């Protein structure tokens, strides 16, 4: 028998979604520094991290789609920057991952030119979501990326992803270690899992703040 609600008893409060997805569009891919990119005008945030860290998976989780951004079976495959517009309000850029050992030197420098010119020469870019794998310490390439972002002065959200792969006992220790390695406060780090959806709303809220902040807010 269903329990009758006592008079005045509050209905359970449903969490408010910080980023309701109403409209999504794939805009296209940028292949080289001087090549096509989406028309200027909408604010942009880029997802960055080493190959296979889970950028595309987290982007899909964020927009509540299974396969909007392509998830790679083979690391190091994505070569272009893929752009998606959300709610016709802002653009998310899925960057090709770095640090895959089997990639040729020539392709690595192509990658460097594309990413650096995209990050440096982009008045619409409001910030970067930098992903780290919860299980591993940052690589040399991760630290170089943090240096580049600091050099350009881009606001950065640090996400520790694949958190589902850690036991609850391991988690706190890893977040502390990763925060120390990257020189950020622990509460600046957003633990996420594209598999369980943990952290999705925290990331969405941080992203909305980043997109709505003006440089004077700092």
Which residues contact ligand GTP by CB under 6 A?
49, 51-57, 71-72, 75-78, 96-97, 161-162, 164-165, 193-195
- Nearer to Mg ion by Cβ, of 37 and 55: the residue is 55
Q: How far is the CB of 74 from ligand GTP (least distance, A)?
A: 8
- Nearer to Mg ion by Cβ, of 48 and 78: the residue is 78
Q: How far is the CB of 96 from ligand GTP (least distance, A)?
A: 6
Q: How far is the CB of 61 from ligand GTP (least distance, A)?
A: 8
Chain positions 41 to 70 lying near Mg ion, rule: CB under 5 A, are 55-56
- Nearer to ligand GTP by Cβ, of 49 and 138: the residue is 49
Candidates 2-10, 74-82, 136-144, 174-182; binding stretch for Mg ion (CB under 5 A): 74-82
Q: How far is the CB of 142 from Mg ion (least distance, A)?
A: 16
Please pick, from the candidates 48, 52, 60, 78, the single residue that binds Mg ion as defined by CB under 5 A: 78
Binding-site partner at residue 161 among ligand GTP, Mg ion, none, CB < 5 to 8 Å by type: ligand GTP
Three-state helix/strand/coil letters over the chain: CCCCCCCCCCCCCCCCCCCCCCCEEEEEEECCCCCCCCCCCCCEEEEECECCCCHHHHHHHHCCCCCCCCCCCCCCCCCCEEEEEECCCEEEEECCCECCCCCCHHHHHHHHHHHHHHHHCCCCEEEEEEEEECCCCCCHHHHHHHHHHHHHCCCEEEEEECHHHCCHHHHHHHHHHHHHHHCCCHHHEEECCCCCCCCHHHHHHHHHHHHHCCHHHC
Can you tell me the distance from the alpha carbon of 191 to that of 162, in angstroms, rounded to the nearest whole number? 8
- Nearer to Mg ion by Cβ, of 56 and 161: the residue is 56
Chain positions 153 to 172 lying near Mg ion, rule: CB under 5 A, are none
Can you tell me the distance from the alpha carbon of 36 to that of 38, in angstroms, rounded to the nearest whole number? 7
- Positions touching Mg ion (CB under 5 A) are 55-56, 78
């Amino acid at each position: 028998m269903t329990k009758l609600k006592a008079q005045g008893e509050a209905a359970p409060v449903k969490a408010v979604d910080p980023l309701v997805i109403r409209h999504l569009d794939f805009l296209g891919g940028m292949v080289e520094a001087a090549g096509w990119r989406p028309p200027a005008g909408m604010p942009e945030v880029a997802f960055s991290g080493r190959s296979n860290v889970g950028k595309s998976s987290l982007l899909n989780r964020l927009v509540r789609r299974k396969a909007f951004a392509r998830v790679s079976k083979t690391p190091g495959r994505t070569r272009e920057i893929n752009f998606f517009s959300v709610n016709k309000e802002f653009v998310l850029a899925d960057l090709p991952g770095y640090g895959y050992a089997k990639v040729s030197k020539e392709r690595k420098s192509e990658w460097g030119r594309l990413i650096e010119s995209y990050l440096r020469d982009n008045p619409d870019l409001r910030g970067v979501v930098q992903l780290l794998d919860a299980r591993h310490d940052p690589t040399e390439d991760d630290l170089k990326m943090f240096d580049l972002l600091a050099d350009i002065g881009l606001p950065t959200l640090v996400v520790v992803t694949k958190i589902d792969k850690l036991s609850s006992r391991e988690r706190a220790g890893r977040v502390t270690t990763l925060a120390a390695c990257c020189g950020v406060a622990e509460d600046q780090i957003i633990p996420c899992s594209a598999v369980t959806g943990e952290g999705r709303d925290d990331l969405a809220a941080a992203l909305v703040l980043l997109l709505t902040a003006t440089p004077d807010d700092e």
